[in-house]
Amino acid sequence: GAFTAQTTLLTAQALAAFAAGLPAYVLVKVFQPAYFAREDMKTPLWFSIVSVAVNILLSLLLFPVMGHVAIAAATAVSAWVNVMLLAMVLWQRREFRPSAVTRRRLAMIVLAGFAMGAVVLAVRWAFPAPFDDPSFLIRLASVLGVILLAAIVYFGLVIATGGLDSAELKRAMRRKRSAT
């Protein structure tokens, strides 16, 4: 069972599809406790059942077209379906009403995420040679350089656009240091 270049590519494709659902996986963990705190266990259960059904249906429909990536993509889409259902019902019940500041900050965080992704893709497209170099150290340095650039772009934009208050970030960093 050696891991070849082909299996690496196949794994990367599946992980990229799964990654599209990462925010949704987290948001489900944010929204579900709002139901549990109100002793409503049934609503999240039903939404989970709907999400599983969507996952199975999309996996079956997309597999002939997308192959193994279909399963990962269906999982990501079904997680977003779950989040949308959870959020919509909380909104209808007037139990989830983010403030204007929260909505603006969230929009800036999403914008920074897209900008970071665009920069990573642009670097990969403009400078493909170092990523394909036979030397492990050159490939490692290339990846670490892109990660550093991505972090600078993301946090720079989030702070510059007000998605994250730099004073809040400093306070959080101080709290983390004092906790360790």
Q: What is the pLDDT of residues 28-64, one digit of tens each?
A: 999 999 999 999 999 999 999 999 999 999 999 999 9
- Gyration radius of the chain's alpha carbons: 20
Asked if residue 18 has pLDDT above 90, the reply is yes
Query: Phi and psi dihedrals of 13, rounded to 5?
Result: -65, -45
- pLDDT tier at 115 (50, 70, 90 boundaries)? very high
Q: What is the mean pLDDT of residues 8-15?
A: 90
Stronger pLDDT, 131 or 70, i.e. the higher one: 70
Predicted structure pTM score: 0.74
Percent of the chain with pLDDT over 90: 69
Average pLDDT, the chain: 92
Closest CA to 11 of 66, 72, 64: 72
Rounded Cα distance between 44 and 29, Å, is 11
Q: How far apart are CA 159 and CA 4, in angstroms?
A: 41
Helix (H/G/I), strand (E/B), else coil: 67: coil
Side chain identity at residue 145, one-letter code: G
